Chains A and B, each alone.
Chain A
Amino acid sequence: MTDFAGNQYIIEIVYLIASALFILSLKWMSSPSTARHGVWAGEIGMVLAIAGTLLHHGIVDYKWIVIALVLGTGIGIPLGFVQMTAVPQRTALSHAFGALCVTLVGTAEFYLRTPNVPRFMMAVLSMEVILGSLTFTGSLMAAGKLQELLPQRPLTYKGQNFVNLALLAIAVAIAIRLVQHPGARALFPAMVGIPLVFGVLMVVPIGGADMPTVISLLNSYAGLSAAAMGFVLDSKLLIIAGALDGSSGFILSVIMSKAMNRSFTNVLFGAFGQVQASPAAGTEAKTVRSATAEEAAAILAAANQVIVVPGYGMAVAQAQHKVRELYDALTKRGVTVRFAIHPVAGRMPGHMNVLLAEADIPYDKLFDMEDINGDFPQTDVALVIGANDVTNPAARTDTASPIYGMPILDVDKARTVMVIKRSMSPGFAGIDNPLYYLDRTLMLFGDAKTFVNDIVRELGGGGRS
């Protein structure tokens, strides 16, 4: 027993309370009515944990801690106030920051401890650093693609998967070598550097439509690397927080890949956008019916049941507030308006829900695919705004289609389908959508925001010209 034993007990108790608060925080997230308590619980837990850590007996230098905390807060505040449409890239960026922290701490710990690193510790430290550094660059790439600083289209080349897997194998081999010989300092930079390159190459071939899965997967990696750091530092709180984050990311990844009927490996190594580049060219001249805003407004006004299907196009056009005006105008006329949300609509899990909530659309009007799909046959109008692949009936029937087997929203079963779309050019994945050629489908060509505004004006609901 040292003089510091008392202090140490206090710190551990504080960590225990923080762990409980973190679990409660996630538990309260299960319902929108308690979710904000969840944030408070998380905040209290975090403040307690940081305060407890500052009591740590080994700490001699407080000046730089304070400076770093202040600088971090300075960066964090603007990141907390980004536009809602920028949330996917903000999330990717924060995965990158989290992974950066874990990687740097792992690196510093290695150089402080080498060559006296027990085997197990070296193994988890390697896992921490490999996962951390590939998540860091992978998330930066994802953020760059989402912010459109980088091309959203997948970039592929021959032998890509081989190169990627070979790089990963080399990194793992180095890790094994370091476990056997933890004194081999010279190998360590390679174990950090190779996964950094791998992270870039891993995300390069992934297109925008696969971002929900990739962000979830990177979320999971970030959590696992933090848990590994907990093992290295023997910190139970870190292990718990990392495990919670890791399982959250994992669950979301599973939901996302199920919603696309694809496996993890297929998302990571499949390069979705390239698959279907050629067959689209051979389509015969099929006819589509288009309509004006005036006609669309008349049909909507005469309907009883309307289901709106939003997609990434709505986010790009920033049309969510106009959609809210449409919702108001139709509701005032006694039309029941609901929203059908596909799990992979948009660029991250839950993306559409947040945008519609931002526009003040009540959340009890937002429905998951499973809950609303059975209602399309009794629906007068399905209005598709900026969604494409998630409504493509080819996923049910055409075994040759790359999206065959993907669960879709059954909009084609509604009595009338209206699709707001810029032009007939195929969507992101380059897959032709037979929905557009149905007799019951009306194409509304134009920018989502402008077109919805025009419909609202026709309905006399206060749209501006």
Chain B
Amino acid sequence: MGSNLIDALFIFMLAAFIGFEVIRRISPLLHTPLMSLTNALDAIAVLGAIVLVGEHKSTFSAVLGVVAVIAATSNVVGGFLITDRMLKMFKSSRPTKP
């Protein structure tokens, strides 16, 4: 647990810095699709829920897990769909380069 914890903190710190640097560059033009995309990515929490359902350690945990998988999956599917729909609408007035 000890070294795992430190590893995890390092990973969190590095990912947060990458997040800051990458997201800072995103133009306000795309802030709405950005939010729906990060929402879909954040639904990666579905992994934890899937394991919970699959391991079936107790009925209680399995039931909570099923609800959690439903909630997160709807975010994955809905989030990617609407992000793509939004991005498709952004068109330049200049002809796009091949």
| B61 → A minimal CB distance (Å) | 4
Known: A26-B22, A104-B67, A238-B48. A32 touches B74 (CB 8 A): no
| B57 → A minimal CB distance (Å) | 5
> A241 touching B44 by the CB < 8 A rule?
yes
Task: Give the chain A neighbours of B68 by CB distance below 8 A.
Answer: 100-102, 104-105, 108
Q: Which of B1-38 contact A (CB under 8 A)?
A: 1, 4-5, 8, 11-12, 15-16, 18-20, 22-38
Is A231 engaged at the interface, CB distance under 8 Å to the other chain?
Answer: yes
Task: Give the chain B neighbours of A145 by CB distance below 8 A.
Answer: none
> A362 touching B60 by the CB < 8 A rule?
no
| B4 → A minimal CB distance (Å) | 6
Q: How many angstroms from the CA of A35 to the CA of B26 in the assembled complex?
A: 10
Q: How many angstroms from the CA of A357 to the CA of B90 in the assembled complex?
A: 5
Known: A219-B35, A243-B12. A61 touches B29 (CB 8 A): no
> B66 touching A25 by the CB < 8 A rule?
no
Task: Give the chain B neighbours of A112 by CB distance below 8 A.
Answer: 57-58, 61
Q: Which of A60, A73, A105, A349 contacts B55 (CB 8 A)?
A: A60
Is A284 engaged at the interface, CB distance under 8 Å to the other chain?
Answer: no
Is A458 engaged at the interface, CB distance under 8 Å to the other chain?
Answer: no
Task: Give the chain A neighbours of B70 by CB distance below 8 A.
Answer: 68, 71-72, 75
Highest count of chain A CB atoms <10 Å: which of B25, B34, B44, B65: B44
Q: Which of B37, B44, B81, B90 contacts A237 (CB 8 A)?
A: B44
> A82 touching B82 by the CB < 8 A rule?
yes
- Interface residues on chain B, size class: 35 or more
Task: Give the chain A neighbours of B64 by CB distance below 8 A.
Answer: 104-105, 107-108
Of A248-256, A266-274, A428-436, the one with at least 4 CB within 8 A of chain B: A248-256
Q: How many angstroms from the CA of A54 to the CA of B53 in the assembled complex?
A: 11
| B36 → A minimal CB distance (Å) | 6
Is A246 engaged at the interface, CB distance under 8 Å to the other chain?
Answer: yes
> A251 touching B61 by the CB < 8 A rule?
no
Q: Which of B24, B30, B36 contacts A32 (CB 8 A)?
A: B30
Is A200 engaged at the interface, CB distance under 8 Å to the other chain?
Answer: no
Interface size on A, residues (CB 8 A): 113
Closest to A369 in B: B28
Known: A36-B84, A50-B47. A240 touches B22 (CB 8 A): no
> B90 touching A65 by the CB < 8 A rule?
no
Known: A97-B72, A362-B91. A240 touches B11 (CB 8 A): yes
> A364 touching B60 by the CB < 8 A rule?
no
Closest to A353 in B: B29
Q: How many angstroms from the CA of A244 to the CA of B52 in the assembled complex?
A: 24
Task: Give the chain B neighbours of A25 by CB distance below 8 A.
Answer: 37, 41
> B74 touching A68 by the CB < 8 A rule?
no
Task: Give the chain A neighbours of B88 by CB distance below 8 A.
Answer: 36
Q: How many angstroms from the CA of A368 to the CA of B27 in the assembled complex?
A: 9
> B22 touching A32 by the CB < 8 A rule?
no
Number of A-B contacts (CB under 8 A): 369
| B29 → A minimal CB distance (Å) | 5
Closest to B83 in A: A39
Q: How many angstroms from the CA of A350 to the CA of B86 in the assembled complex?
A: 11
Residue-wise, chain A 229-264 has the 8 Å CB interface mask toward B (1 for contact) of 111011111111111111111011001000000000
Task: Give the chain A neighbours of B24 by CB distance below 8 A.
Answer: 251
Q: Which of A68, A237, A243, A350 contacts B32 (CB 8 A)?
A: A350
Task: Give the chain A neighbours of B57 by CB distance below 8 A.
Answer: 112
Is A341 engaged at the interface, CB distance under 8 Å to the other chain?
Answer: yes
| A70 → B minimal CB distance (Å) | 8
Known: A42-B80, A79-B82, A236-B11. A243 touches B19 (CB 8 A): yes
Q: How many angstroms from the CA of A111 to the CA of B63 in the assembled complex?
A: 13
Task: Give the chain B neighbours of A238 by CB distance below 8 A.
Answer: 44-45, 47-48
> B5 touching A120 by the CB < 8 A rule?
yes
| A102 → B minimal CB distance (Å) | 5
> A368 touching B28 by the CB < 8 A rule?
yes
> B75 touching A357 by the CB < 8 A rule?
no
> B92 touching A241 by the CB < 8 A rule?
no
Task: Give the chain B neighbours of A348 by CB distance below 8 A.
Answer: 31-32, 35
Q: How many angstroms from the CA of A95 to the CA of B89 in the assembled complex?
A: 23
Q: How many angstroms from the CA of A348 to the CA of B33 in the assembled complex?
A: 11
> B91 touching A357 by the CB < 8 A rule?
yes
Task: Give the chain B neighbours of A245 by CB distance below 8 A.
Answer: 19, 38-39, 41-42
In the complex, 10 of the A-B residue pairs with CB atoms within 8 angstroms, ordered by the A residue number, are A22-B41, A36-B88, A46-B80, A49-B44, A90-B78, A94-B74, A111-B58, A244-B23, A354-B33, A354-B86
List the 7 closest pairs (A to B, CB-CB), nearest first: A72-B73, A80-B81, A76-B77, A59-B54, A350-B31, A247-B19, A79-B78
Which residues of A come within 8 Å of B, CB atoms? 18, 22-23, 25-27, 29-33, 35-36, 38-39, 42-43, 45-46, 49-50, 53-54, 56, 58-62, 64-65, 67-69, 71-73, 75-82, 84, 87, 90-91, 94-95, 97-98, 100-102, 104-105, 107-109, 111-112, 118, 120-121, 215-216, 219, 222-223, 226-227, 229-231, 233-249, 251-252, 255, 341, 343, 348-351, 353-354, 357-358, 360, 362-366, 368
